[in-house]
Structure 1
Amino acid sequence: MPDSALLEFSQPRRTAHQFVRETLRRAILTGALDGGTRLVQADIAAQLEVSTTPVREALRDLAADGLIHFDPHRGAIVRELDMTELVELYDIRKALESLAVRKAAGEITEAQLKSATELQDRMDRESDVGLWVQLNSEFHSLLYRAAVSPRLFSLVESVQDAATIYVAHSLAVSPGRIKEGNREHRSLIQALRKRDGEKAATILESHLDATLETIVTANSTEDQAEPEQATKRTRSSRR
């Protein structure tokens, strides 16, 4: 990544620690920092014009959220998920997030419904996959906060972040899923507006199932493409 690239993901300054954490989180969740990328504290500090102390604190937070891990020899690495772990994550997401929308159906305010609709309007217009993924996270977080259950929200957010790394990548391969997701979001808002928690949970579970299927398909497509690309390179080298 170029020396100034992280600045594209910088967030409004709060504390230096929060600034670095949210900037790195956004870069990871939008796919700008790929799985397996090494995060060097000194390089990040130089790019974001901070000391290494807030960078070190931010990396600890991201590790706790499951977005990175620490290798004894290479330091902080953007985490890569395998398909088995991803399926497990989505099982957990379905359990937690369906509970959250059931609770939200009885608590959500008109102001929150209005904000969700406005966010979805922006998502309908958004053509950039990375920005759509960011708005998607904001949309889901808004609905889950409406459940008025801080402990549940904290659990949901950590699992959601860990899975979002794959979402951005899969949508780049299958952009048609974005329109489907937008329609499902509209149905979810409608169910919450009617205070129908069971319907909202059913829509949410189907939404997550479809997203998981897109991720698995995208991963399968890439796995098939790699041997073909290797074969082409071999043939080219023989000419």
Structure 2
Amino acid sequence: MPLGQMRSGERPNLTAHAYVLQRMRQAILDGELPAGARLIQAELAHQFDVSITPVREALRDLAGEGLVVFDPHRGSRVRSFDLGEVREIYELRMALEPLMVGRMIGKVSPERLDEAERLMKRMTRTRDIGLWSDLNRQFHACFAEDDRASRLATILGGLRDSASTYVGLSLRASPERRAESDREHAEILEHYRDGDTENATRVAVQHMRTTLVTIEEAHEQGLL
């Protein structure tokens, strides 16, 4: 499928920047743009039928999410798989997430929890790995959104964005992991609604640990 075409087959009613950003994120997360692929702005602009500016802005945003890296000699490319980096990202998330859960239990607004539930339901319906990965990122962000100005939320948000591409890799390598993740999401949301700090922390950390193990096993089997 050409990069300029969305999964639905129709270009959504978005700005050029938002459209290119959404489509490129989708292509990276589902493997259509593989790790290490060079991203040449002029070629991308031609494929999307837009000017260079929205492509440049989208690449900058994707770099901020950790999906794209800039090489001063070779230009932009999709971030390559790095098991050491994956482990560090998830170890940091597992260490910091209990702090965020303890801070936010009982403080996340009902509207934010309802938004998390809507995202969770969309995840269970879609078959698109790239879309699922992006919805997953948004789902977890809901629980920190009301504290988004804090240093802790900023750090965790960066780690979560950096983990997105690896989440997609884990699902492609182990499709059965997705159903398990959907169940864990439902548990996390339920514990937040109940104000259950202990179990929300337990499931959130286990959720991340299982994803990391899935990635490590796929790497050992040569799938990544």
Instruction: Give the shorter-chain TM-score range.
Output: 0.7 to 0.9
Aligned counterparts of 1:133 and 1:44: Cα–Cα separation in 2: 22
Secondary structure in 1 matching 2:33: coil
User: Which residue is 1:115 aligned to?
Assistant: 115
Q: 1:115 to 1:54 in 2, by over 3 A?
A: closer
Q: 1:119 to 1:66 in 2, by over 3 A?
A: closer
Secondary structure in 2 matching 1:107: coil
User: Which residue is 2:178 aligned to?
Assistant: 178
The 5-angstrom pairing of residues 78-227 of structure 1 reads 78-222=78-222
Partners of 1:100 and 1:147 within 8 A in 2: no
Aligned counterparts of 1:180 and 1:6: Cα–Cα separation in 2: 32
Partners of 1:107 and 1:147 within 8 A in 2: no
User: Which residue is 1:74 aligned to?
Assistant: 74
Aligned counterparts of 1:87 and 1:70: Cα–Cα separation in 2: 22
User: Which residue is 1:13 aligned to?
Assistant: 14
Q: Which runs of 4+ in 1 moved over 6 A?
A: none
Q: 1:100 to 1:163 in 2, by over 3 A?
A: same
Aligned counterparts of 1:67 and 1:128: Cα–Cα separation in 2: 18
The structure number with the bigger radius of gyration is 1
TM-score by length of 1: 0.81
Deviation at 1:191, TM superposition (A): 1.1
Query: Which deviates the most, 178-187 or 125-134?
Result: 125-134
Aligned counterparts of 1:99 and 1:22: Cα–Cα separation in 2: 31
Q: 1:59 to 1:148 in 2, by over 3 A?
A: closer
User: Which residue is 1:46 aligned to?
Assistant: 46
Alignment: residue pair count: 221
Query: Which deviates the most, 160-169 or 85-94?
Result: 160-169
What amino acid sits opposite 1:145 in the alignment? E
What amino acid sits opposite 2:3 in the alignment? A
Partners of 2:119 and 2:139 within 8 A in 1: yes
What amino acid sits opposite 1:13 in the alignment? L
Q: 1:46 to 1:154 in 2, by over 3 A?
A: farther
Larger helix proportion of the pair = 1
Q: Percent identity?
A: 40
Q: 1:49 to 1:99 in 2, by over 3 A?
A: farther
Q: 1:151 to 1:26 in 2, by over 3 A?
A: farther
Deviation at 1:110, TM superposition (A): 2.2
TM-score by length of 2: 0.85
What amino acid sits opposite 1:85 in the alignment? E
Partners of 2:3 and 2:24 within 8 A in 1: no
Partners of 2:25 and 2:130 within 8 A in 1: no
Deviation at 1:101, TM superposition (A): 2.6
Secondary structure in 1 matching 2:5: helix
Deviation at 1:40, TM superposition (A): 0.7
Aligned counterparts of 1:29 and 1:121: Cα–Cα separation in 2: 19
Deviation at 1:200, TM superposition (A): 1.3
Aligned counterparts of 1:115 and 1:74: Cα–Cα separation in 2: 40
Aligned counterparts of 2:160 and 2:39: Cα–Cα separation in 1: 22
What amino acid sits opposite 1:138 in the alignment? Q
Deviation at 1:107, TM superposition (A): 1.1
Deviations 1:122-159 (A, max 9, x none): 32333333332222122112222144545433332221
User: Which residue is 1:236 aligned to?
Assistant: none
